[in-house]
Structure formats: C-alpha cells, structure tokens
Amino acid sequence: MSTITAPSEKIIAPAAARPAASHTPDAALIRGIADGDRRAMQILYTRHSVRIYRFILRLTHDASLAEDLVNEVF
C-alpha cells in the first residue's frame, strides 16, 4: 500500500519575525519571491508598480497597454 503525501510547502516566518517591509532591500524581496514568499511579491509590487506604470504610460500614451505591461513586468 502506498501513501499519498501533500507537496511540501515553504514555511514563511510570521510577520513579527520578518524585517519591516520599508527596510527590506529589493534583492532580499526577490530572493523571498524565489522561495515562494507571496508577501515579498506584494511588497515589491506595491513599492514599484506606480512608477513603472507611469514610465510605461509616458512611452505608450495608452493606459490599458501600460496596465498590461506592468502586469507582464511582475
């Protein structure tokens, strides 16, 4: 008889054990994203999405396209 096991999940430290979002360098957030930390992705997106959107909007002059491209960036 074989047993079925659930895929292993990454263990993410509680919020109190993680550094404050505003003090976490982007490189550390990217490492967290690679390790499956969804909060790291939220922080990185929140930190940079508006600037990236505005930059792309200036280049394309198309709000819908700019939104799509921001999503592609992340």
Residues 74 and 49 sit within 8 Å (Cβ to Cβ): yes
Residues 37 and 10 sit within 8 Å (Cβ to Cβ): yes
Place of tokens 């993680």: 18
Nearest to 43 by CA among 53, 61, 54, 31: 31
pLDDT of residue 18: 55
DSSP, res 25 = -
pLDDT of residue 11: 46
pLDDT of residue 69: 98
pLDDT of residue 2: 44
Per-residue pLDDT of the chain (74 residues; tens, 9 = 90+): 444 444 444 444 555 445 566 789 999 999 999 999 999 999 999 999 999 999 999 999 999 999 999 999 99
Between CA 43 and CA 21 the distance in angstroms is 7
